[in-house]
Structure 1
Amino acid sequence: MSGMRRAPRPSRGPAAVASSPWIVVFAGVVVMVVLLFVALGAYRGRSPAPDDVSAPPPALPLPQGTVPPIVATPTPAKSSASPLRPGLSPRASGLSPSAAAGSRQPTAGRTAGPTSSGSPTRQPQVAPGVSGRYRVVQSFDGGFIGEVLIVNAAGADRGWTVRLDFTGGRLVTAWVEGVPQGTVRQTDGGFTYVSGVDVPAGGSATLRFHLERASTTPRACTVDGVRCTGF
């Protein structure tokens, strides 16, 4: 017996842990719980405390002094007048009450001023400055000699233009006695004569002409566009 050796006993540290796994699991759970509590404590320390929703809002300060009374504004009644057109501003058709009260009635002793009538005033017709009178001086076989007397009723010297129209015929010549001659322009059945010298104010001039194979009565005779007399 004395020669036999005893086998060494295994140590209880690592072998016990290896033989009992529930101990390791329990220790891990405890560590995780501790870490969770530490994390929650740290999070609560960082985030501010939430406001109390149920707390009433702070009261506003009341105004100092006397509060003015509230006056209700009357709502204007709807007018029965026709609606206004766009772009037109409303205007009162009558006087305001204050103007009507302050106006004075005309007294019986005062007379109203003259009122203007609605009818337009007619302007007096002005006689033409230059006029003409037609007549036949001499008639013969195959033709005649006629004349136009030009009278200047204006207050200044005036030039003039005579136009004569006949049914057919041929102009032989035309002239003004005693003054420089003007310009003759023959047309179909007549002619136009433009004066060479102005007629003095209040004076006259005589235009004569020789016409063949035509009636002694002209179809038209004008002096400056005004119809002649005498035919």
Structure 2
Amino acid sequence: MSGMRRAPRLSHGPAAIVSSPWIVVGAGVLVMVVLLFMALGAYRGRSPAPDGAPVPPVVPLPTGVGGSSAPGPASSSPPPVRPGLSGRASGLPPSTPPGSRSPSVGASAGATGGTPMVPRSPSGAPQGQPAMSGRYRVVQSFDGGFIGEVAMVNRSAVSRGWTVRLEFSGGRLVTTWVEGVPQGTLRQSGDGFTYVSGVDVRPGGAVSLRFHLERTSSTPRVCTVDGVRCSGF
């Protein structure tokens, strides 16, 4: 009959799968289920080691140099500290009876080979040295005269003044002065002069007296500081 239409026939093969998406979804679900069962079977196959199975030995780690596992010598602990006997405790040693005096500084220095203390004089200077020492020198020479100097050092432990006495063979004293400090008092007598300081010199301090002389030798007959002979001539 020409008026009737034929129903489309279902295609087979890839075209049928593409046209039916539920087939693809079902296949994926089936694959996932199979994989899940396989994973469960593999997990159940891992059973723990049966009782009595040998346990692998534990290898100890090296504890010494060069891989030696021998233990080192145990460190000895310090002795317990007894109260009242610290290393810095002061007082008399155990061998010294109470009430006895400790040895003098000079005796201990001699026993240990150290340098003994030098006793000082009442003025504070070491014994055998003057409290105020002086040194004579010629600062400048010229035709007909020269400029001399007496340099002094206070070696005592207290501030002190000084007195210089100078004598020459003739000549004429032009002037005297002290470097850097207030001037003192000049007294001329005979062939020389005496100069008394105006201010004291502090312990360890120094001061210089200078003078201008004409028509005489530059070497004095007398040069003293506080009655002690000067050095340098």
TM-score normalised over the length of structure 1: 0.46
TM-score (norm 2): 0.46
Instruction: Say which one has the larger Rg.
Output: 1
